[in-house]
Structure 1
Amino acid sequence: MEIKERIIQGAGKLFFARGIKRVIMDEIASEAGVSKRTIYENFDDKTQLLKETLDYFQHEHDCNLKRMTEQADNVIEIIIGILHYGLESIKVVNPLFMEDLKKFYPNIWDESVRKSRESGQMELQRLLERGKREGLLRPDINPHLVARIFYEQITLIHNNEAFPIDEFPRKELFENIVLNFGRGISTPKGVEMLEKLLSDPDSGKNGPG
């Protein structure tokens, strides 16, 4: 593993666990097993390190989801996989990370949301078309519109004004969005398959990969 990647992975681990503002460069250096000087030889400052860390993990996220969609037998399996993958991610990412990102790095937040929305919506549209061909998703849905609605709902997970975290735990919120979405766009055959997979405690638990 290259030094730059080690730094990014170390920074990501600390940022996701504790938020951004609470993490100092000395701690990132210790986590990555490098000197602070080495960090500054590869990144201008903490802002650049944060930006490249987000780009790195977004790319990893996209690759994982692509691999999952290629390995799944049908779109319902993918919905279950997305559910478990998202729930595992919520366990890893401290809400303070999102709060810090929006508050202190609004430009990076906006760019991150835009990139995630663009790549995610395109992939979701393809999955919706696939599900219609498989007879598991309703033939009357508009994939472009439905994909947009889904990603706008997902973005709201991080809106503490709309969903205060002490009232709406992120795990429960994400689970409700994904399952209500999946049930709402599925045919009776798709809903039956969805409920069957949900009743299987081992279905999709490994998520992508």
Structure 2
Amino acid sequence: MDTREQIIQESSKLLNRIGPSSMTMDMVAHSCGISKRTLYEKFPDKKSLIMECLRREHERQNAEMRHIFETAENCFDALFQVFTRTRSYLQQTSAAFIDDIKRLYPELHAKHREKEKEFVIGLSQVLAKAQGEGHVMPNIDTDIAAFLFLSTMRNLNENERLADYGFSRVQVFEGAFLNFLRGIATIEGISYIDEFVNNQQKQ
């Protein structure tokens, strides 16, 4: 692994663990075992480093999603795999991450929001396919359902509001995801959901 790749990997770990505002270039250099001079030769400032970390993470997630939906047994199976990975990501990522990005780098947060429309379109297509598989009710407008799901997921970034009610991001994500699917699922789909939940509880 070359130095630039090592910097990106170590920085991504720090970003997830403590958030952008707490991460310093000194920390990155120390984690990589390199001098600050070497670090600044690769990345002129913290913002450029964070931008590259976010770009890489977005690429990684997209590749992972493509693989899941290409190899899953059906759409619900794919969605449950996404659920499991997202829950793990939330457990490992600092709650301050999104707050820091919004506050310190609003242009980066704006780019993230621009991708939301792609998410809604993609989820709508998945739900439409799940209708054909018999897991989502045929009378559901998948465009509206996908938009409503996104609107609910935005609450994951409202850390102060969640704290007021004593909820964690993981709790809200689990409840929102599973209740969303139950609300649009057929009887067969609900059985599939129940089987997944029961298997999760046994683990």
> Partner letter of residue 122 of structure 1?
I
Equivalent pair of 2:95/2:159 in contact (CA under 8 Å): no
Q: Give SS of 2:23's match.
A: coil
> Partner letter of residue 62 of structure 1?
N
Following the alignment from structure 1 to structure 2, what is the Cα–Cα distance between the partners of residues 124 and 184?
A: 15
1:151 aligned residue: 150
The within-5 A match list for 1:78-117 is 78-115=78-115, 117=116
> Partner letter of residue 121 of structure 2?
M
The Cα of 1:166 is off from its aligned counterpart by 6.5
1:66 aligned residue: 66
1:183 aligned residue: 182
Identity over aligned pairs, percent: 27
Runs of 4+ in 1 over 3 A off after TM superposition: none
Gaps in structure 2 of 5+ consecutive residues: none
Q: Spell out, residue by residue over 1:4-34, the C-alpha distance to the aligned partner (whole angstroms, 9 max, x if none).
A: 2221111110011011121111211222343
Following the alignment from structure 1 to structure 2, what is the Cα–Cα distance between the partners of residues 10 and 165?
A: 33
Following the alignment from structure 2 to structure 1, what is the Cα–Cα distance between the partners of residues 32 and 146?
A: 38
Q: Spell out, residue by residue over 1:158-180, the C-alpha distance to the aligned partner (whole angstroms, 9 max, x if none).
A: 11344336611111100011001
1:57 aligned residue: 57
Change (3 A) 1:154 1:2: farther
> Partner letter of residue 191 of structure 2?
E
Which structure's residues are more often helix, by fraction? 2
Change (3 A) 1:180 1:202: closer
Equivalent pair of 1:80/1:198 in contact (CA under 8 Å): no
Equivalent pair of 2:140/2:184 in contact (CA under 8 Å): yes
Instruction: Give TM-score scaled by structure 1 length.
Output: 0.88
Following the alignment from structure 1 to structure 2, what is the Cα–Cα distance between the partners of residues 20 and 131?
A: 38
Following the alignment from structure 2 to structure 1, what is the Cα–Cα distance between the partners of residues 34 and 119?
A: 34
Gaps in structure 1 of 5+ consecutive residues: none
1:192 aligned residue: 191
The Cα of 1:85 is off from its aligned counterpart by 1.1
**Aligned length, in residue pairs:** 203
Kindly indicate whether structure 1 or structure 2 has the higher relative contact order, using CA contacts under 8 Å at least 6 residues apart.
1
